[in-house]
Amino acid sequence: MICIHSPASKGQNPQSFFRHGNLRDHPETSERYRILLGAVKGHEIVEARDHGTDPIKAVHSPDYIEFLMTAWGRRSELAGITDQLVATQFPRVGMNARPTGLQGQLGFYLGDTSTSIRDDTWSAIAGSAHAAIDAADYALKAGKAYALCRPPGHHAYAGYGSGFCYLNNAAIAAQRLRDAGAKVAVLDIDVHHGNGTQGIFYGRDDVLTVSVHAETSAYFPFYSGYANETGAGTGEGFNLNLALEHGLGDDPWLAAMARGLDAIQAYGATALVVSLGLDASEHDPIGVLKVTTDGFRRAGALIASAALPMAIIQEGGYICDALPHNLAAFLAGAN
């Protein structure tokens, strides 16, 4: 399998985040890049090409992209910031203002305190998006490809980021496949609901979005991920959420995925984007499901049995001994 990565991923190394109100080491570190890259050894490994900002603008709003590109350079607006920009105030639904200052914009464009901006953040998130674009292009040429995207993307909406995600790499890949004429489905198997991807395509019938995730009534991202979110307007009927009770393992997880794949076949998709989170693992430090390494191999094989051109996009999945084995197992199953 062709595996695409960007060395700029190394520059994105957030330090800390609030977990249940306590400041903890951030799980989405640059060490993940080293571990995931090690796990694809033996595959064909290539560096992402620079595709410029047009394919990013096809998904994200121009003001949000501008904010991401320029925020760090504006840090002197906030006295004493030398390390990381973190949002601490957030607008509520119904509020109307668009602040011009950095503090207000941080909360406008970043949905939580775990999604921070440092010196090398923009180059890493752009490199991550470019890897996803390459994966879409290779999927059409070679059948399948894996993009080692760091930072991840599926919690990023068109106009704001959250949950360690800035640009929605999977949505950018899906739009790339659309622009090449494919009928596209996104299957998201990260343990967290793919809320950003859902949001981006919610009003559209030309991209089917399916997310298999841990039930969100007491788990991130809390405010979405429910079965009654089925799409809006022309997008009605083109979003499917399959939520699992916490603690479940391989068989129910794979059964939900099979249901998702049935919907994808019924839709008539001609290309597939897989949002591959590895945080459904039984060993993941922030996950709540119990998927084994063999479960990831079976997931790869099940998804590949759909026989569609497929761009596999790395999402979450955090450092534990099983992490590289789970990636290798999924790719082996999918090959």
Residues making contact with ligand Q9C (CB under 6 A)? 18-19, 112, 114, 152, 155, 163-165, 190, 192, 220, 277, 279, 315-316
String of contacts with Zn ion for each residue 181-210, x by CB under 5 A = ---------x-x------------------
For the question of residue 155 being annotated catalytic, the response is yes
Active-site pick, 155, 193, 213, 283: 155
284 binds Zn ion (CB under 5 A): no
Q: How far is the CB of 73 from ligand Q9C (least distance, A)?
A: 26
With beta carbons less than 8 A apart as the criterion, state whether 211 and 188 touch. yes
Q: How far is the CB of 276 from ligand Q9C (least distance, A)?
A: 11
Q: Is 214 helix (H, G, I), strand (E, B) or coil?
A: strand
- Comparison of 137 and 284: residue with beta carbon closer to ligand Q9C: 284
With beta carbons less than 8 A apart as the criterion, state whether 13 and 30 touch. yes
Question: Distance between CA 12 and CA 26 in Å, rounded?
Answer: 11
Closest among 78, 84, 65 to 18, alpha carbons compared: 84
> Which alpha helices (H) appear in the chain, and where do they start and end?
30-39, 54-57, 62-70, 102-109, 121-142, 169-179, 195-201, 250-267, 293-304, 323-334
- Comparison of 167 and 308: residue with beta carbon closer to Zn ion: 167
| Given 277, 300, 309, 324, the residue binding Zn ion (CB under 5 A) | 277
295 binding partner (options ligand Q9C, Zn ion, none; Cβ < 5 to 8 Å by kind): none
229 binding partner (options Zn ion, ligand Q9C, none; Cβ < 5 to 8 Å by kind): none
Closest among 207, 183, 180 to 269, alpha carbons compared: 183
Q: How far is the CB of 30 from ligand Q9C (least distance, A)?
A: 15
- At position 197, the amino acid (one-letter code) is T
Q: How far is the CB of 306 from Zn ion (least distance, A)?
A: 22
- Comparison of 111 and 277: residue with beta carbon closer to Zn ion: 277
Q: How far is the CB of 285 from ligand Q9C (least distance, A)?
A: 11
- Comparison of 301 and 319: residue with beta carbon closer to ligand Q9C: 319
Residue keyed to tokens 């910031």: 81
**Within its chain, how far is the Cα of 265 from the centroid?**
23
316 binds Zn ion (CB under 5 A): yes
Question: Distance between CA 257 and CA 135 in Å, rounded?
Answer: 22
Ramachandran quadrant class, 118 (left: phi over 0; alpha: psi -120 to 50; beta: rest): beta
Residues classed as catalytic: 155
Residue ranges in contact with Zn ion by CB under 5 A:
190, 192, 277, 279, 316
